[in-house]
């Protein structure tokens, strides 16, 4: 079991090819209770992130082979490490270094020679920020786990949420949607049905068709879902997708009966992908349709006034294009 001391341990990585510099920084940090790990170069620094938890990195910019800039860039490009604060340690007058550091995603800079008080103040404030983002991430993780627990109840929907996220992001990229909307779609793919938590199991898992009273409850799941996720500020672009993922273009959907462009574009994107994935997955009452037939059905239903016909076309183009980046990577 992890001891209490261990759980609250804060680890700072110091990467510098100069031993005296590493020593000075450790001497400032260790008496304050930080655990310090040392790296003599960029390669060693990156290896530490693979093998242990690091809460903050202090990187000298000039190191042989893999520089502090390279390490910073690598950390910020990886979803697992991008929220770890990185402080670049630069020469006093190197404004070029700072510009390059900003481009690499550095969170802060310290000038050599590093002053003790300044170092401690920067480290403290960056760690405080990190704590907030960690808490936010934890909240997000709880929501994702809850959402996936609903998916797990239905053996026929295995992997549905994951595919929904990936295909929606790929379609959003094709449409040129800005990053925050793409991130919202990735999240909505996972949590869109989280409101089903509030739907009783005898309705949710009923093998036959629902009666009118049961439908009234089932149709509330987007509203419940919006309510569950609404305390999270970072989910503000996700909420409209959750609420409106069962609307139809002709106004016959639920919960609000919105029509056409009244339905947020992101919700229309998720709906098109949701229906496509449902058609191409095996269900108790029918076999999975091949992609061509699924798109023919989607287009027919779009003509009937249910789905956005342009988005159906764009989705088909997205999924038939060779390997869209989002189908293999995560945001
Ligand atoms: Fe739903």
- Give the Å distance between the CA of 275 and the centre of ligand 1: 10
pLDDT score recorded for residue 32: 93
Q: How many angstroms is it from 110 CA to the middle of ligand 1?
A: 49
Query: Do the bridges between strand 11-15 and strand 108-111 make them parallel or antiparallel, or are there none, so unpaired?
Result: unpaired
pLDDT at residue 298 in the model: 97
Query: Could you identify the residue written with the tokens 């929904």?
Result: 164
| pLDDT value of residue 331 | 45
**What residues form DSSP beta bridges with 12?**
36, 56
Q: Per the structure block, which two tokens stand in for 194?
A: 């989280």
From the CA of 196, how far away is ligand 1's center (Å)?
8
**CA–CA distance, 185 with 266 (Å, rounded to integer):** 7
Instruction: Report CA(243)–ligand 1 centroid distance (Å).
Output: 9
Centre of ligand 1 from the C-alpha of residue 137, in Å: 24
d(CA 274, ligand 1 centre) in Å: 9
Which pLDDT score is estimated for 2?
37
**175, two tokens:** 């449409």
Kindly give the distance from the C-alpha atom of residue 192 to the centroid of ligand 1, in angstroms, as a whole number: 6
Q: What is the per-residue burial (b if ≥16 Cβ within 10 Å, else e) of 194-207?
A: bbbeebeeebbeee
Taking the centre of ligand 1 as the mean of its atom positions, its distance from the CA of residue 329, in whole angstroms, is 25
What is the rounded distance in angstroms from the CA atom of residue 40 to the CA atom of residue 226? 49
Peptide bond into 178 cis (omega under 30): no
Q: How far is the CA of 244 from the centre of ligand 1 (A)?
A: 9
C-alpha 204 to ligand 1 mean position (Å)? 11
Max alpha carbon distance in the chain (Å)? 76
pLDDT for the residue 194: 92
Question: In sequence order, what are the residues at sequence separation of 6 or more whose Cβ sits closer than 8 angstroms to the Cβ of residue 88?
Answer: 59, 60, 61, 68, 69, 72, 97, 98, 101, 104, 106, 108, 109, 110
Distance CA 122, CA 252 (A): 55
Residue with token string 């229906």: 275
Distance CA 331, CA 324 (A): 13
The pLDDT, as a whole number, for residue 242 is 97
Q: Crossing angle, helix 160-175 and helix 179-191, to 10 degrees?
A: 160
pLDDT of residue 309: 97
- For ligand 1, the distance from its centroid to the CA atom of residue 157, given in whole angstroms, is 12
The alpha carbon of 317 and the centre of ligand 1 are apart by a number of angstroms equal to 25
Separation of CA 189 and ligand 1 centre (Å): 10
Q: Is 320 helix (H, G, I), strand (E, B) or coil?
A: helix
CA of 144 to the centre of ligand 1 (A): 15
Burial class, 220, CB count within 10 angstroms (exposed 0-12 / middle 13-18 / buried 19+): middle
- The DSSP secondary-structure symbol of 66 reads S
Strand partners, 89: 60, 110
Cα(246) to centroid(ligand 1), Å: 6
The rounded Å distance from CA 205 to ligand 1 centre is: 14
Residue 222 alpha carbon to ligand 1 centre in Å? 6
> CA 158, CA 152: separation in Å to the nearest integer?
7
In this prediction, residue 95 carries a pLDDT of 76
Q: Which is nearest to 40 in space by CA: 63, 23, 56, 57?
A: 63
Q: What is the DSSP string of 251-268?
A: S-SSSS---GGGS-HHHH
325-328 long-range CB contacts below 8 Å, 24 or more apart? 325/170, 325/173, 326/166, 326/169, 326/170, 326/173, 327/166, 327/167, 327/170
pLDDT of residue 330: 43
Taking only the tens place, the pLDDT of each residue in 155-206 is 666 788 889 999 999 999 999 999 999 999 999 999 999 999 888 888 988 8
For the chain, which ranges sit under pLDDT 70?
1-8, 92-94, 154-157, 322-331
- Cα of 38 to ligand 1 centre, how many Å? 49
């Amino acid at each position: 079991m992890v001891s209490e001391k261990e759980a609250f341990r804060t680890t700072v990585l110091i990467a510098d090819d100069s031993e005296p510099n590493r020593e000075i920084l450790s001497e400032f940090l260790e008496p304050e209770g930080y655990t310090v790990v040392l790296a003599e170069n960029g390669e060693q620094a990156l290896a530490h992130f693979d093998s242990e938890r690091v809460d903050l990195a202090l990187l000298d910019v000039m190191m042989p082979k893999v520089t502090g800039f390279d390490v910073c860039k690598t950390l910020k490009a990886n979803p697992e490490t991008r929220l770890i604060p990185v402080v670049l340690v630069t020469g006093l007058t190197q404004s070029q270094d700072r510009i390059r550091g900003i481009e690499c995603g550095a969170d802060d800079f310290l000038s050599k020679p590093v002053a003790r008080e300044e170092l401690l103040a920067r480290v403290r404030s960056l760690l405080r920020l990190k704590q907030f983002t960690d808490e936010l991430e934890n909240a997000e993780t709880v929501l994702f786990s809850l959402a996936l627990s609903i998916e797990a109840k239905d053996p026929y929907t295995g992997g549905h949420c994951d595919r929904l996220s990936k295909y929606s992001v790929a379609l959003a990229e094709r449409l040129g949607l800005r990053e925050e909307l793409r991130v919202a779609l990735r999240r909505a793919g996972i949590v869109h049905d989280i409101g089903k938590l509030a739907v009783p199991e005898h309705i949710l898992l009923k093998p036959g068709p629902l009666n009118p009273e049961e439908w009234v409850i089932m149709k509330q799941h987007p509203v419940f879902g919006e309510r569950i996720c609404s305390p999270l500020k970072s989910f503000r672009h996700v909420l409209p997708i959750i609420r409106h993922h069962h609307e139809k273009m002709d106004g016959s959907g639920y919960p609000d009966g919105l029509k056409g462009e009244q339905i947020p574009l992101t919700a229309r994107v998720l709906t098109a992908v949701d229906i496509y994935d449902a058609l191409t997955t095996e269900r108790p009452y029918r076999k999975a349709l091949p992609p061509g037939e699924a798109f023919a059905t989607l287009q027919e239903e779009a003509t009937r006034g249910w789905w956005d016909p342009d988005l159906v076309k764009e989705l088909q183009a997205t999924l038939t294009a060779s390997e869209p980046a989002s189908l293999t990577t995560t945001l």
